[in-house]
């Protein structure tokens, strides 16, 4: 985790002001409001008025001798309530003029409203205090203005370059040193940059925690965890929120963090207004690929990220589905969006995204008692409707924990890869549907298989090439008929006598006995390897 640093334009806190030599010589002692000593001081105000709130805007540190303070306890409470309501940074009372000791009623009132209360046992020159602190504040304001210009330049450059939303979220986290989450209006985490932190503690139970943090009118800590939140818009109005998770709770946000969050939210809004945004699909793709490639550091991280995106995992069976389609390049863009929209009408909870060129991944979560086959058939029908008759849907084994989904995904991918036009036509396929022809289709690039097929069939192929013969088709028909010569002759469209003559020639050329089951199996494997290679080449030409 990167160390926390003070941002440029850091305003001095109450704690830091009390450590300044100009105040330290007054022997300051904190009597109340210890939890708010890290609040920033935006000005120092010397006043003896009983209604100072009329002249304050928030963040001021009040210096007073207490001369006009009332004796009445309720009026003292009213005085402290004014300071608290306006957001004063704290109250410093110098002893010796009115008080030899700060009255307990004033201490109790400040403790009740958590207002920092400090007594000065020795007198100090208030003008020296104001000059010293105001110099620090003005320096911070100047630095903040300069830093603000730098931040604006950074996000302007990203916008002009057409940076993707991931880059904008990443830049926000880098500039603030804090985790950043981009969510939509339904509180699904579409993108996040956690700066190396694990997902589980940051995004676990995200929807519930996010709903507890409303969007304030200006960027101030919101909700029980003190998040900083900026709205993101699109053509239709509010679209989502950019959330900065500070490392610590504070009544006042870091002003530089506020600037960064504001500029980032504007850049994200402009990105959405610039054209069609596929951010939800990008988020789905990212999570699906991370699951397939096992990039999550733990099952808890994977579960938290998937649930933050809206997919329930606990108490559900999870199925990896791979949709293979023939479209690539620009014609294959946003096909996953079409599948996702079609699936929304089924009521099935899914993540849908392109996992590779020509591949769409679907991760579906079903209640334990639900039958998965009808859902898989619906996905198969939708895939055919949206992607055409050549779309192939393969379903991996169901798992009850995301830790096993990568294996399920690999089996679904291998199944989708194995299915050929010669395979039995089904709405969806499972690993058990991969038979010998499909298996050899998967292994067709293995040079050992290729050499095997060449050794077995070369003489036959060369004979056909020289003589425009049909021995290979005759052998293929014989093997498909499981050695039944009459059936094979009919399928080959030959008389029995002519067909038997061809079988005799095949035996002579290959030096084999076609009555042997082992010989037929060996030749059948070789023919299937040859056919798989030709089918792949034909598919590539199409």
Confidence class of residue 97 from pLDDT cuts 50, 70 and 90? confident
Long-range contact set of residues 345-352: C-beta below 8 Å, sequence gap at least 24: 346/375, 346/378, 348/375, 348/378, 349/310, 349/311, 349/312, 349/316, 350/311, 351/284, 351/287, 351/288, 351/306, 351/309, 351/311, 352/281, 352/284
Mean pLDDT for the stretch of residues 511-518: 90
pLDDT of 251 higher than 80: no
Give me the chain's average pLDDT, please: 88
pLDDT of 416 higher than 60: yes
Look at the pTM and tell me if it is higher than 0.75.
no
For the ranges 92-96, 210-214, 435-439, the lowest mean pLDDT is seen at: 435-439
pLDDT tens by residue, 284-297: 999 999 999 889 88
Quick one: pLDDT at residue 408?
Answer: 93
Quick one: pLDDT at residue 249?
Answer: 56
Quick one: pLDDT at residue 3?
Answer: 32
Measured distance CA(153)–CA(158) in Å, rounded: 9
Element (H, E) at 62: strand 60-64
Distance of CA 129 to the CA centre of its chain: 49
pLDDT tens by residue, 446-476: 888 888 888 999 999 899 899 888 999 999 8
Confidence class of residue 259 from pLDDT cuts 50, 70 and 90? very high
* Contact assessment for residue 529 and residue 488, using Cβ atoms and an 8 Å cutoff: no
Confidence class of residue 169 from pLDDT cuts 50, 70 and 90? very high
Quick one: pLDDT at residue 171?
Answer: 97
* Both tokens assigned to 344: 């929304």
Quick one: pLDDT at residue 174?
Answer: 95
Quick one: pLDDT at residue 538?
Answer: 60
pLDDT tens by residue, 143-159: 778 888 999 999 999 99
Mean pLDDT for the stretch of residues 299-304: 92
- In the chain, % of residues over pLDDT 90: 54
For the ranges 4-8, 117-121, 366-370, the lowest mean pLDDT is seen at: 4-8
pLDDT of 273 higher than 50: yes
Confidence class of residue 75 from pLDDT cuts 50, 70 and 90? confident
Contacts of 38 (CB under 8 A, 6+ apart): 13, 14, 15, 250
Quick one: pLDDT at residue 539?
Answer: 57
User: 186-216 burial string, b = 16+ CB within 10 Å, else e?
Assistant: ebbbbbbbbeebebbebbbebbebbeebeee
Confidence class of residue 535 from pLDDT cuts 50, 70 and 90? low
Measured distance CA(77)–CA(90) in Å, rounded: 15
Nearest in space to 96 (alpha carbons), one of 128, 129, 124: 124
Confidence class of residue 6 from pLDDT cuts 50, 70 and 90? very low
- In the chain, % of residues over pLDDT 70: 95
Measured distance CA(304)–CA(203) in Å, rounded: 6
Measured distance CA(493)–CA(488) in Å, rounded: 9
Mean pLDDT for the stretch of residues 513-533: 87
Which residues are 237's β-sheet partners? 234
Measured distance CA(370)–CA(316) in Å, rounded: 9
Confidence class of residue 491 from pLDDT cuts 50, 70 and 90? confident
Mean pLDDT for the stretch of residues 390-395: 94
Where do we find the tokens 């009390």?
A: 18
Quick one: pLDDT at residue 537?
Answer: 59
Sheet containing 189-193: order of strands: 189-193, 180-184, 237-244, 228-234
Per DSSP, 469 falls in state -
Confidence class of residue 363 from pLDDT cuts 50, 70 and 90? very high
Which carries the bigger pLDDT value, residue 439 or residue 459?
A: 459
């Amino acid at each position: 985790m990167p160390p926390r640093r003070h941002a440029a334009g850091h305003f001095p806190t109450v704690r830091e002001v009390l450590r300044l030599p100009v105040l330290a010589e007054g022997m300051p002692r904190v009597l109340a409001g210890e939890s708010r000593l890290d609040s920033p001081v935006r000005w120092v105000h010397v006043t003896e008025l009983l209604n100072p709130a009329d002249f304050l805007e928030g963040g001021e540190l009040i210096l007073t001798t207490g001369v006009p303070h009332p004796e009445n306890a309720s009026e003292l409470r009213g005085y402290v309530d004014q300071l608290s309501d306006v957001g004063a940074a704290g109250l410093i009372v110098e002893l010796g003029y009115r008080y030899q000791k700060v009255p307990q009623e004033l201490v109790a009132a400040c403790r009740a409203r958590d207002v920092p209360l400090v007594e000065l046992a020795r007198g100090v020159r208030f003008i020296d205090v104001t000059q010293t602190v105001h110099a620090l504040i003005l320096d911070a304001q100047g630095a903040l203005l300069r830093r603000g210009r730098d931040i604006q330049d950074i996000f302007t450059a990203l916008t002009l370059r057409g940076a993707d939303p991931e880059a904008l979220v990443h830049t926000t986290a880098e500039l603030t040193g804090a985790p950043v989450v981009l969510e939509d209006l339904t509180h699904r985490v579409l993108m996040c940059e956690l700066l190396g932190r694990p997902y589980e503690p940051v995004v676990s139970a995200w929807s519930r925690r996010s709903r507890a943090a409303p969007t304030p009118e200006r960027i101030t800590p919101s909700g029980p965890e003190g998040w900083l939140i900026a709205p993101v818009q699109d053509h239709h109005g509010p679209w989502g929120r950019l959330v900065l998770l500070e490392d610590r709770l504070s009544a006042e946000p870091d002003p530089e963090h506020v600037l960064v969050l504001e500029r980032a939210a504007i850049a994200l809004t402009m990105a959405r207004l610039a054209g069609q945004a596929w951010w939800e699909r990008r988020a789905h793709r990212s999570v699906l690929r991370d699951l397939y490639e096992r990039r999550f550091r733990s099952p808890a991280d994977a579960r938290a990220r998937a649930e933050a995106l809206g997919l329930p995992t606990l108490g559900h069976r999870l199925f990896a589905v791979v949709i293979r389609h023939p479209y690539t390049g620009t014609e294959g863009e946003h096909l996953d969006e079409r599948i996702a929209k079609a699936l929304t009408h089924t009521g099935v909870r899914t993540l849908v995204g392109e996992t590779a060129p020509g591949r769409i991944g679907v991760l579906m979560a079903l209640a334990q008692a639900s039958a998965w086959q009808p859902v898989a058939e619906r996905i198969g029908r939708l895939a055919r409707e949206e992607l055409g008759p050549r779309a192939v849907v393969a379903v991996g084994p169901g798992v009850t924990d995301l830790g096993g989904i990568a294996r399920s995904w690999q089996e679904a991918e291998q199944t989708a890869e194995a299915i050929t036009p010669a395979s039995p036509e089904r709405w969806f396929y499972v690993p058990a549907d991969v038979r010998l022809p499909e298996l050899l289709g998967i292994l067709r690039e293995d040079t050992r298989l290729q050499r095997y097929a060449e050794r077995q069939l070369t003489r036959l192929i060369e004979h056909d090439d020289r003589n425009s013969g049909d021995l290979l088709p005759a052998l293929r028909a014989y093997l498909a008929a499981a050695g039944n010569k009459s059936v094979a002759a009919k399928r080959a469209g030959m008389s029995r006598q002519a067909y038997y003559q061809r079988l005799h020639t095949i035996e002579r050329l290959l030096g084999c006995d076609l009555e042997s089951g082992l010989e037929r199996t060996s030749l059948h494997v070789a023919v299937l390897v040859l056919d798989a290679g030709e089918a792949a080449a034909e598919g590539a030409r199409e």
